[in-house]
Structure 1
């Protein structure tokens, strides 16, 4: 696919981007945008932004004093759209719960995947899929985690999903090893971002050029033939900074160890200070995945009788290439009015070649016919590859421009800060399915059909386009210890689809559009410098995918955008110098939550308007320096205990709701239609917990942490089936806990940190997913390596 489409990619990017980027760049100087939520405008509790494994200290965990920039080495101002920021008080005026996963947490705990890292954020549930974090399924506060469709994911302030409006599925996720930090924000503050602003906003901040030239090389490996290398080097020379970052890793996949995956990720970034008032950032990224990861999971019998981490589908191939760019221009018009304009876009080529599947009974006889996708009969004892093959070949083009402004002013004598702006995005996908029904072998793009009377061997040929316009405004009124923050967002979305196979190849064209106004208001009140309360309410929206709102015949489906009201009230603070906490009560009231019709993405499922659903619960986090509590402030050592806990008390269907399953997806004697009103939503665990105990000795350069991550039981379908179906796609998913550990030793003379890591050290075997059959969780993983700074 890379060879087939690379030239077309460059030509398409050149045609679409060059002309429009020149026009957009000209416009941007009149409409340039503010750096999101600027550090001086907000406050952040230390309980939300974690320091390096303990309360703030002047030394880092390696025993070195932080480097002090020289007078003449004044850092370049970087045009960066942030959700929370890095200032110690960055959450003070944000009317919602939030968390920053710091660079120290990622590096010292050696987070293997984004799944591990996000589990330290209260309210976040990440369903594992491939075991390497390549395609995470992120859910917040009981929302369906499938493909992370209900979370707005950004990198350096711009969206990175396949098609943020038309198909926000997370088939791509950048390696966690190049992040400087991860910002997660829930509540009304997320109206500044979109289109998905129901569950939360996640902003992945990549490393920026350092003031002094510096490089890092890290290498580590472990069982499952895991090898990882990460290299970055950058610096600032005069008014210009540069950074290059490269990651390569490969492994037997933890989900199914008889298939492999490898990933390469290259990023080049430069920052230039044009003047004291204007700075520009440019970033280019190339990402490539080549893996044997498929879709099909295991049946109940296969999971019980064979190695649960092997698959008979070992001839699948996933070939994924992404080329992305991001240009940001920051301009200060006056001391009170600043702007940042983001130009961004990407091209993706995604070819997934898979074997068709055949369900069989206990004697190996076929159950039903050969199936593409995941339509495995419910009574299947096992599943085997069929002598057929298909390739889903897809290309995506996305680009956008977003000017944002930040204005400090007075309103009726009240100190105020306004954030406002607009965005235009264009998206297009070209989706083709090649079918090889003559044999199960051949080139990935082999197109053969031995079905009598068939006129084509293509299973799909769709061109889908989105034009989306958004504008947003938020006013922050600061009245001493009280802050009131009203705001709104407007989204207008145009969808269209051309099914080129319909009407004997003449095609069928259909289009649809939506306009939604999303208001919100929040407030914070600081009792004193150590405690504050916050509250907020906002209208959330997530648009339906193009494929779900326009049919293959061009007809428009009555599938409205997801709409909800989100309510929050909470408190956060630092009662003592050695402790911090955050407590949040949340309530999500959906008018129309779009979920899978029957089995949460498995057999016989389509997306439907589910009507009213309701989520309620509590998030709690605390962090204590136990050594400081006993001995007073200790600059040399920390003993840190932390807990992040979520109780999703309710996540259920509230409206009139029926589950409809037909044909082979039904068990013998099972009713086709069942009322599920009052049932719990699929993949919504009631309890989530991450707790850890860490020790740091700075003069010696040593740190260690022992951690547990737990998830309670959850249902795999809307019928809340407890006893699993033989095909493994419906049934209770039992809760689990894993035990992780990380040990670091810094050797100052050679500027190298040596580390050892254990994941799921007790080697627990458990189920994490049933949507396409059973997927097992991570096995025990043991890794060791070193990081050299030069």
Structure 2
């Protein structure tokens, strides 16, 4: 773990870099208008633009993210209906997100983007989210479901999430926010930017940004005679970023924008959970066997984007992008020499071998701890060009959007196993290093050509939006240890749909659509198992109401999605093959509802009183018996009619607040119903073969409340504070990767925001 001095240096440097004068960052509509945003690279645009979308669309604004000082995308997304999150580490480092019933595992079935650019480590070859953009540094978040997602890929059976990074401001702007909280949490966010107008060379813009977070974690590792640092289960995460832009003084508008950003993570995080009894006694305990677990990763991202509007009716935007991601998760793989046997971690947690495996994990039995260096490197690169052309005659107006993208990505796995000899006291007496590449030496690579076309046809009160998408994938899988498993595969995938919007009056809008989506298998799954893409057929219908004069808005959507050839992975963190498998058919249907009302605005009060609520009801049901009999898979041995793992039936979130120009206080509450954690829908920790396995069972239903407040000291300085998980609820959020895992306990924090000039 890096030392705390890194963040202290960052914070000190930030304060020295900025002038020691302040002003309060403007957050009104005028300020928002003074920020440069390329609308066409956003999934939705402004919250107002969501009203004209033919599918379910939601924008989470910068103000909503900052209101509760969230840096965990799981908490942010609770406000969006139709989104399901499975927590893992309590801080949102490794999100598991599902939209409308797709598999939650590592957000692999959701297209994750930042400023319109694919952000998964290798979106085609290995999309599992061991990296996800940091929501705490974002200026917004867009979530799109339904037929509107046809412009995006490659995973469009569920939906799209687009993170919006801080844009280059049009006027001189600087911002600093610092926080301190429980678990020795330190957090800092700072940026400075401006756009400079010149008579000869046009307009130049710049933005320098830094974000950093670190803490000691909220879990404690059991101590042994040779290990006394059990309180350090936290992480450090610094993120510098630079953006530059140029708009030349030509007769038609042109804009060139460059960005470079970097994220580093050093986390003492583990895959290992607890036994059921130990979780009930202390959910924030970690066993001594997990003390070597640590992940380090580095992600570097850059793009060069060129936009040109040669006429009033035509916009063309071309983006050249490149990301590189490296990570090494050094973590406990299994336990050996447990009275002569090897045990998987989930089996040991569930009491296998008369509890001897659990005693090994607790440091109370002589055994061997096998720790794997999961060393992998990824890259993503490509070029994309999108054109928008507007034309029309009389009442019929159209905007045709077309795009082409050539993309390459790759994951290279080069792993080793190390063996730690443990004495009956928990002391490590010997370490044997494994052979590099001996625990996995393979490569997956994808070359993808994607094309789409979409037409928005507006006739008086009607808008009809048909679209089609085609992708061709050339996939390569190379297994150095077993060359016979190597090979190539080709995928041709087609998606399409049509959405309809009808404006009944200035307040009411109806919408609906039909959409066929796809999600490709990994090269390994395509070559080894011969898998083709997962497909979905989705239908939705809904209505929106918005009356600005009454400060009231609402949206209700009913949806049905049929997933065919659902692709699942046979394990996560287990001892299985890690291959993609074809699960079969799943139906997901439900209701999404959201509403907002502010009586303060509606009645002309001198203070505001916002209220909001979201409700999601979902029934995600298996339509066939599971094809897998691999006990390592939580999707094995499922039966027709069973529920899909980790998709709650009911989610409910509400919030309210009081706010004046001088101070504000806010409350948010979320309820999530219990879920099954495996396709065979068992209550106890027993897999499909009847053997003990801590991944099988249920999660808890839970209710979590967050509060926050601020006080405006001067026009330029604001102090803030809050408590997340106000009632200190203890609840089980996941049984993956290995055994019961808790949500974050009560977390109190305080800090300040200063806008410097």
TM-score normalised by the chain length of structure 2:
0.86
Q: In structure 2, what is the Cα distance between the partners aligned to 1:562 and 1:412?
A: 42
1:759 aligns with 2:724: yes
Corresponding residue for residue 668 of structure 2: 707
Aligned with residue 735 of structure 2, among 757, 765, 770: 770
Give yes or no for contact 1:640–1:695 (8 Å, CA) kept in 2.
yes
Q: In structure 1, what is the Cα distance between the partners aligned to 2:27 and 2:414?
A: 56
SS in 1 for 2:524: helix
Question: Deviation string for 1:685-717 (max 9, x for gaps)?
Answer: 00011101111112xx21111111110010010
Aligned with residue 188 of structure 2, among 219, 229, 240: 229
**Pairwise CA distance, 1:175:** 1.9
Relative distance call for 1:65 and 1:352 in structure 2 (3 A) is closer
SS in 2 for 1:91: helix
Relative distance call for 1:167 and 1:761 in structure 2 (3 A) is same
User: Where do 1:515-664 residues align within 5 Å?
Assistant: 515-551=492-528, 557-575=529-547, 577-596=550-569, 607-629=580-602, 632-634=603-605, 636-648=606-618, 650-658=619-627, 660-662=629-631
1:324 aligns with 2:296: no
Q: In structure 1, what is the Cα distance between the partners aligned to 2:568 and 2:27?
A: 52
Question: Deviation string for 1:94-129 (max 9, x for gaps)?
Answer: 100111000110112211311110110001111111
Q: In structure 2, what is the Cα distance between the partners aligned to 1:582 and 1:438?
A: 56
Structure 1: 5+ residue stretches without partners: 3-60, 450-455, 552-556, 667-671
SS in 2 for 1:678: coil
Q: In structure 1, what is the Cα distance between the partners aligned to 2:711 and 2:739?
A: 42
Give yes or no for contact 1:246–1:264 (8 Å, CA) kept in 2.
yes
Relative distance call for 1:204 and 1:255 in structure 2 (3 A) is farther
Corresponding residue for residue 657 of structure 2: 694
Q: In structure 2, what is the Cα distance between the partners aligned to 1:375 and 1:419?
A: 53
**Pairwise CA distance, 1:723:** 2.6
User: Where do 1:125-524 residues align within 5 Å?
Assistant: 125-238=84-197, 239-254=203-218, 258-274=232-248, 275=250, 276-312=252-288, 313-358=290-335, 368-371=341-344, 378-380=350-352, 381=355, 382=358, 384=361, 386-410=368-392, 414-437=396-419, 447-448=433-434, 458-502=438-482, 509-524=486-501
Q: In structure 2, what is the Cα distance between the partners aligned to 1:292 and 1:571?
A: 46
Relative distance call for 1:77 and 1:287 in structure 2 (3 A) is closer
Q: In structure 1, what is the Cα distance between the partners aligned to 2:721 and 2:27?
A: 24
Q: In structure 2, what is the Cα distance between the partners aligned to 1:411 and 1:134?
A: 51
SS in 2 for 1:188: helix
SS in 2 for 1:715: coil
Relative distance call for 1:286 and 1:332 in structure 2 (3 A) is same
Relative distance call for 1:662 and 1:325 in structure 2 (3 A) is closer
Relative distance call for 1:330 and 1:374 in structure 2 (3 A) is farther
Corresponding residue for residue 753 of structure 2: 787
**Pairwise CA distance, 1:233:** 0.8
Instruction: Say which is worse superposed, 779-788 or 607-616, in terms of deviation.
Output: 607-616
**Pairwise CA distance, 1:533:** 0.4
Q: In structure 1, what is the Cα distance between the partners aligned to 2:317 and 2:616?
A: 36
**Pairwise CA distance, 1:148:** 0.3
TM-score normalised by the chain length of structure 1:
0.83
Give yes or no for contact 1:300–1:774 (8 Å, CA) kept in 2.
yes
**Pairwise CA distance, 1:789:** 0.7
**Pairwise CA distance, 1:370:** 4.9
Give yes or no for contact 1:594–1:610 (8 Å, CA) kept in 2.
yes
Q: In structure 2, what is the Cα distance between the partners aligned to 1:113 and 1:69?
A: 26
Q: In structure 2, what is the Cα distance between the partners aligned to 1:548 and 1:69?
A: 49
Give yes or no for contact 1:476–1:485 (8 Å, CA) kept in 2.
yes
**Pairwise CA distance, 1:603:** 6.7
Question: Deviation string for 1:564-591 (max 9, x for gaps)?
Answer: 0011100001256221100000101112
SS in 1 for 2:584: coil
Q: In structure 2, what is the Cα distance between the partners aligned to 1:319 and 1:369?
A: 28
4+ runs of 1 displaced by more than 4 Å? Answer: 61-70, 73-80, 255-258, 365-368, 373-378, 438-442, 599-606, 672-675
SS in 2 for 1:459: coil
Q: In structure 2, what is the Cα distance between the partners aligned to 1:474 and 1:76?
A: 26
Relative distance call for 1:331 and 1:267 in structure 2 (3 A) is same
**Pairwise CA distance, 1:549:** 2.3
Structure 2: 5+ residue stretches without partners: 3-22, 198-202, 221-230, 687-691
Q: In structure 2, what is the Cα distance between the partners aligned to 1:625 and 1:192?
A: 35
Q: In structure 1, what is the Cα distance between the partners aligned to 2:630 and 2:47?
A: 52
Q: In structure 2, what is the Cα distance between the partners aligned to 1:254 and 1:98?
A: 35
Give yes or no for contact 1:523–1:535 (8 Å, CA) kept in 2.
yes
Give yes or no for contact 1:688–1:712 (8 Å, CA) kept in 2.
yes
Give yes or no for contact 2:522–2:580 (8 Å, CA) kept in 1.
no
User: Where do 1:69-84 residues align within 5 Å?
Assistant: 78=38, 81-84=41-44
**Pairwise CA distance, 1:486:** 0.5
Q: In structure 2, what is the Cα distance between the partners aligned to 1:63 and 1:693?
A: 23
Question: Deviation string for 1:141-176 (max 9, x for gaps)?
Answer: 222211001111100011010111111111112222
Relative distance call for 1:370 and 1:545 in structure 2 (3 A) is same
Instruction: Say which is worse superposed, 510-519 or 430-439, in terms of deviation.
Output: 430-439
**Pairwise CA distance, 1:254:** 3.8
Give yes or no for contact 1:62–1:702 (8 Å, CA) kept in 2.
no
**Pairwise CA distance, 1:185:** 0.8
**Pairwise CA distance, 1:273:** 0.4
Aligned with residue 720 of structure 1, among 671, 675, 681: 681
**Pairwise CA distance, 1:414:** 2.4
Q: In structure 2, what is the Cα distance between the partners aligned to 1:376 and 1:606?
A: 23
